[in-house]
Amino acid sequence: MPYYGHPRQVAFAIWAPRSGIYIGKYVVIVDSDIDIHDPKKIWSAIANRTNPSKDIMVISHTGGGPLDPSVHPDIKMTTGHVGRWDRVMIDATWDDTWEHRPEWSGLNHPPSSLAGEEELQIVREKWGRYGFK
> pLDDT digits over 54-72, tens only?
999 999 988 888 788 888 8
Instruction: Establish if 76 belongs to a structural domain.
Output: yes
Instruction: Give the CA distances from residue 115 to residues 43, 47, 70, 119, in Å, rounded to whole numbers and listed in that order.
Output: 16, 17, 39, 6
Q: What domain range includes position 63?
A: 6-130
Which pLDDT score is estimated for 27?
A: 96
1 pLDDT higher than 70 = no
Q: What's the number of domains the chain is made of?
A: 1
In a domain, 20, yes or no: yes
Return the CATH number at 11: 3.40.1670.10
Residue 29 in domain: yes
Q: How far apart are CA 21 and CA 71, in angstroms?
A: 13
Q: Which residues partner with 30 through β-bridges?
A: 92
In a domain, 53, yes or no: yes
Residue 1 lies in a domain: no
Q: What is the mean pLDDT of the chain?
A: 88
Rounded CA-CA distance 84/78 in Å is: 10
Per-residue model confidence as pLDDT tens digits over 70-97: 888 887 777 777 778 899 999 999 988 8
Give the residue-averaged pLDDT of 13-39.
91
pTM greater than 0.75: yes
- The answer for 47, left when phi > 0, alpha when psi is -120 to 50, beta otherwise, is alpha
